[in-house]
Structure 1
Amino acid sequence: MRPGTLADAGLVLVFVAVLVLAALAIEDTWGAGYWQFDCAAGAVVCVIALARGRDRVWAAAAGLAVAAVAVLATRFVHLPAEPGPAMILALAVLVGSAIRALPVPQAAAVAAAGLAVVAGAWLSAPPLSSGTVPRMTVAGWLAALTIGLSLRSLDARRRATTEKVRRDERLELARELHDVVAHHITGIVVQAQAARLVARRRPDTLDDCLADIESAGSGALAAMRRVVGILRDDGDAASTTPGPEQLGDLVERFSGHGPEVRLRLPGGESAWPPEVAGTVYRVVQESLTNVVRHARHAKSVTVSVAQDRRAVTVEVVDDAAPAPVRHHHRGGYGLVGMRERVEVLGGTLHAGPRPGAGWSVLATLPVPVAEPR
């Protein structure tokens, strides 16, 4: 059962309890006819207040109209004009619901109109029990204002939290798509450029180049499906997070359309948390993609992953000759995304030219250490 349904059910139970108490309290003084009329009118107003229709303004107006008509009707059937306990509670529920759900001007108008209905009833005839009904009304209004404002604040915080989660999800989706698409599309572009050269020099090998492009495109589609699958089913995210065992496949794919890559992994099993393993993979993937984009003349690339008790270090180094604009070209969304990923985990990332020649990307990620018991 949804929280809103539970809240409505609770309000109905409270309202029924108040009806019973009201009947016992006013039957001897105001008569059975009045408490029946008061309970019936209050029940109608309460049902209207709890109706979760699209146009809450019109629902609030309808509830106020029913309350006003009930007050006027008492003058023609010779019943007390002052509102009974059931009507006071119903108007409090109506005002509290309006304060919670409506914009501030409309909520204030509903609260003022409800108070005007009750005040008009007071002025139309003297109360039978001096001071009792006004005190009940003030208490009901204060409760309605307090509960309505509290629920309004709670709803605002809940919406802010939900929006933050959605923004984080969109940012994560953008990062994942950038990492996946940029890597594969870069490879496709490089292979297409190579195919143009081959078509002029060695036409007989063009089919092989086109087959490589087709394979790379299929790989890109498969990778995007994996990303969408992870987003649809977060429960399987940990099992599909790329880790050290996938680095070999990544390096092998890269070597097919770029410089030679040497991979150095730590010995033994690497029991990294999923978020650390995934970040290591993305840093290597984005670094290799940047080599293809901005350092095609590099002859070799070295990917080194080291681990100690407290941190994992990954470094990607190429030997390309320095270029005047190379540093600026490498400062795109990929580098920003890498740095954000690493810093979220409490790590650091440094990227820049090496002394002499080449480019280096160095990331250090802390690994949680289990404290001895």
Structure 2
Amino acid sequence: MESTELNWRLLAKRQWPLALSLTGIAIAETGSINTALGWWQVPGVLVICVIAVLAPRRPFDAALALAFAIVCVALYMRFLGVAFEPHFFFSGANVSITGAAMATIAVLVREVPQWRAVSGTVLVVAAMVAAEVLGWPVVAPVEYREYGPDTTSYLFGASILLVLAVGSGLYFRARDNERASQLAASVAAAQNAERMALARELHDVVAHYVTAIVVHAQAGQMNREVDVLPSIAASGTEALTAMRRLVGTMRDGTSSGPAASSSLVDDVRTLASDSGLPVHLSVDLQDAVPQELARSVLRLVQESLTNTQKHADAVSSVDVALSSGDGSLRLFVADDGVASDVPVGGSGGYGLVGMRERVELLGGTFSAGRREPTGWTVRAELPLA
């Protein structure tokens, strides 16, 4: 049997209006009880109302229990020879029982598969009809001695109530489906954003150190006298550290990549020194740079230097300029190298894409292209606020 696994706290939050309504109606109905035996309807009505309130936990089971309870209460009321007071239809169920049946049908239509919703609704309606049939011999001799009941009006009213119950269930079912679709879309978008962030970190951080390893290894092959092993070991250690950070990000959701230190200039200078390229650094920062923005700037500088290592030969100068003013931070990176026929380690073509995405996510502008007569230029402007 299906279970919506609705915990008690959520059930109370969702069902308290129904519980209060049914309780108020049941209490009001006791004012119409005229005989001592008539009070026997109260326990049965309370059981039926409780089943309706708890219906969202196991809707189909609740429909079965409700139908059984309605028939049982109608049977013992017939055995006692008294009618429900006040009876809502010809002779059977009162207002509270009718409201409980409507609420249960609405939950059925909302929660369970179609064939179970139909069969459960039929059972509840059949139980209501059975209550009418069982109560008729008690009520008819008293209330319909001269004139019979207005069958058309009663049937029309019962049909309206059934349509309201089914319509409410269908409305909430549609809303639940729409909410589930929106939630699935939001989860997919969040997962895609996380994948893109991890892809950028892999490309900007890990690929940077792997490129350095390849460059140093190639230098060692061309000149056996150069001791490149310490540089390769350092780059390998940094690559492993970056990979561990990314694994930690995927496992516990912590921020990936190292955060910028208190000095963006020192961080950029360290990157330039570790790259092994002839970098000329120019800094004119007149505003404080937020930590997250500084981290993104480091990634842009890092990826620019990595691209120079991978794609350029005969590099004699790399200019890196950082400046701020008018609420913006501007980055300029330019080299004078000659385009390499075979990029170091190959080229996945994601470097510029990742840089552009990173800048646009921060609300900035990005451009990159060749410079004359040789070289490559990267420009980015990011808002400080």
- Bigger radius of gyration, 1 or 2? 2
**Structure 1, 125-134 or 35-44: larger mean CA deviation:** 125-134
Q: Distance in 1 between matches of 2:120 and 2:92?
A: 14
Distance 1:84 1:210, change over 3 A: farther
Distance 1:213 1:331, change over 3 A: closer
- Partner residue in 2 for 1:63: 62
Q: Distance in 1 between matches of 2:12 and 2:109?
A: 20
- Partner residue in 1 for 2:298: 281
Q: Is the 8 A contact 2:339 2:375 kept in 1?
A: yes
Structure 1: unaligned runs, 5 residues or longer: 52-58, 369-373
Q: Distance in 1 between matches of 2:245 and 2:266?
A: 17
String of CA shifts for 1:243-273, please: whole Å, max 9, x gaps.
Answer: 4441111111102xxx3111111155x4123
Superposed CA RMSD: 3.7
> Which residue identity is paired with 2:268?
L
User: Within the alignment, does 1:355 sit opposite 2:372 as a pair?
Assistant: yes
- Partner residue in 2 for 1:158: 183
Structure 2: unaligned runs, 5 residues or longer: 1-5, 79-83, 85-90, 140-148
String of CA shifts for 1:267-291, please: whole Å, max 9, x gaps.
Answer: 55x4123443233222111111111
Q: Is the 8 A contact 1:312 1:364 kept in 2?
A: yes
Distance 1:267 1:73, change over 3 A: closer
Distance 1:306 1:156, change over 3 A: same
Residue correspondence of structure 1 range 235-274 to structure 2 within 5 A: 240-241=259-260, 243-255=264-276, 259-268=277-286, 270-274=287-291
Match among 308, 311, 314 for residue 331 of structure 2: 314
Match among 115, 118, 122 for residue 112 of structure 1: 118
Q: Is the 8 A contact 2:242 2:257 kept in 1?
A: no
Distance 1:161 1:94, change over 3 A: farther
Q: Distance in 2 between matches of 1:156 and 1:5?
A: 25
- Partner residue in 1 for 2:20: 17
Q: Distance in 1 between matches of 2:188 and 2:94?
A: 43
- Partner residue in 2 for 1:217: 236
- Partner residue in 1 for 2:50: 43
Structure 1 residue 334: Cα displacement: 1.1
Distance 1:239 1:223, change over 3 A: closer
Q: Is the 8 A contact 2:321 2:332 kept in 1?
A: yes
> Which residue identity is paired with 2:290?
P
String of CA shifts for 1:96-155, please: whole Å, max 9, x gaps.
Answer: 5555555xxx1x444433432343244442687985776665555454444444344334
> Which residue identity is paired with 1:220?
A
Q: Distance in 1 between matches of 2:174 and 2:161?
A: 20
**Structure 1, 210-219 or 121-130: larger mean CA deviation:** 121-130
Q: Distance in 1 between matches of 2:123 and 2:365?
A: 65
- Any idea what SS the aligned residue of 1:263 has? strand
Q: Is the 8 A contact 1:45 1:91 kept in 2?
A: yes
- Partner residue in 1 for 2:145: none
Q: Is the 8 A contact 2:329 2:384 kept in 1?
A: yes
> Which residue identity is paired with 2:63?
L
Q: Distance in 2 between matches of 1:162 and 1:92?
A: 35
> Which residue identity is paired with 1:24?
I
> Which residue identity is paired with 1:37?
G
**Structure 1, 73-82 or 293-302: larger mean CA deviation:** 73-82
Q: Distance in 1 between matches of 2:218 and 2:341?
A: 24
Q: Distance in 2 between matches of 1:272 and 1:44?
A: 62
Residue correspondence of structure 1 range 88-237 to structure 2 within 5 A: 88-98=98-108, 101=111, 106=113, 108-124=114-130, 125=132, 131=154, 139-198=164-223, 201-202=224-225, 208-227=227-246, 232=252
- Partner residue in 2 for 1:365: 382
Q: Is the 8 A contact 1:319 1:358 kept in 2?
A: yes
> Which residue identity is paired with 1:219?
E
Distance 1:271 1:65, change over 3 A: same
Q: Is the 8 A contact 1:82 1:118 kept in 2?
A: no
- Any idea what SS the aligned residue of 1:346 has? coil
Structure 1-normalised TM-score? 0.75
